[in-house]
């Protein structure tokens, strides 16, 4: 089911503001912490849609990311060690590898405790850098191509998408219910739709089912797509296979 029959032109989807991003990050981190706190002992070794990680390793990454949010020293360490580990691979592959390896000896209970304790401080820390700092550009590889991001885009958008998508990963891996609401998840998904549309630049109509879904349009006489809202995000994140316009990836 969908929550609305109104069709939204993607050109009218406003980018998530810095102020709104802080509240969205706080909500997402809280929901993520609740999912991790509810993991059962046999959940931690289950495989996830992240091919290299089981549930425990995925949570190691999430804890490390939040530790890097609250501590500049920890972030710099992860970045430097990750750059060395990456070699010829994308930088992010090396960084996440280091994040997981350095927490490989932590017990599930400690990982859960740390993530719960870090959830809100990490969201607040990401919201703290001033505008000049958030405007700093850097290079990032997306789908094999280099592009320029700003620190603000990373802090306000990408890190929340990453947490949100990993909450989906955990739900799929363990069978736990996935909490989705229009006023939170719907905003995240709409922003993903808008970026997906900008990246391919072609006309379409898109019907996304579910409590956080909606109907979107760009131009006329374009492809007509109809699928579940979460599945759309899984496809454009590279976790599932799509065809046509759904081959256009969006960074998470």
| pLDDT of the residue at 145 | 87
Q: What is the pLDDT of residue 3?
A: 46
Mapping DSSP onto H, E and C, the string for 191-235 reads HHHHHHHHHHCCCEEEEEEECCCEEEEECCCCEEEEEEHHHHHHH
Q: Where are the domains of the chain?
A: 7-12+183-247, 18-174
| Sheet strands side by side (includes 7-9) | 7-9, 214-218, 204-209, 223-228
Chunked into runs of 10 residues, the chain (252 residues) has average pLDDT values of 72 95 98 98 97 96 98 95 92 94 97 98 96 93 89 97 98 97 98 98 98 97 97 97 97 96
- In this prediction, residue 142 carries a pLDDT of 87
pLDDT score, position 1: 44
| Superfamily for the 18-174 domain | dinb family like domain (1.20.120.450)
Spatial CB neighbours of 128, under 8 Å, sequence gap ≥ 6? none
Query: C-alpha angle with apex 2: 231 to 215, nearest 5 degrees?
Result: 80
Q: What is the pLDDT of residue 5?
A: 65
- Which stretches does DSSP call E strand in the chain? 7-9, 137-142, 145-150, 204-209, 214-218, 223-228
């Amino acid at each position: 089911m969908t929550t609305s029959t109104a069709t939204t032109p993607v050109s009218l989807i406003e980018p998530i503001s810095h102020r709104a991003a802080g509240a969205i990050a706080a909500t997402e981190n809280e929901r993520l912490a609740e999912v991790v706190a509810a993991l059962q002992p046999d959940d931690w070794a289950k495989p996830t849609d992240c091919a290299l990680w089981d549930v425990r390793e995925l949570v190691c990454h999430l804890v490390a990311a939040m530790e890097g949010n609250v501590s500049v020293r920890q972030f710099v360490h992860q970045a430097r060690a990750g750059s060395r580990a990456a070699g010829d691979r994308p930088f992010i592959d090396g960084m996440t590898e280091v994040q997981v390896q350095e927490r490989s000896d932590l017990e599930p209970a400690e990982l859960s405790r740390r993530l719960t304790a870090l959830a809100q401080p990490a969201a607040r820390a990401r919201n703290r850098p001033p505008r000049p700092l958030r405007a700093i550009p850097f290079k990032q590889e997306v789908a094999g191509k280099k592009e320029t991001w700003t620190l603000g885009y990373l802090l306000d958008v990408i890190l929340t998408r990453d947490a949100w998508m990993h909450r989906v990963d955990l739900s799929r891996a363990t069978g736990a219910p996935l909490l989705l609401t229009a006023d939170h998840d719907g905003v995240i998904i709409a922003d993903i739709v808008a970026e997906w549309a900008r990246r391919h630049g072609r006309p379409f109509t898109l019907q996304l089912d579910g409590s956080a879904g909606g109907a979107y349009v760009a131009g006329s006489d374009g492809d007509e797509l109809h699928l579940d809202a979460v599945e759309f995000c899984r496809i454009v994140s590279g976790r599932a296979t799509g065809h046509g316009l759904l081959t256009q990836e969006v960074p998470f």
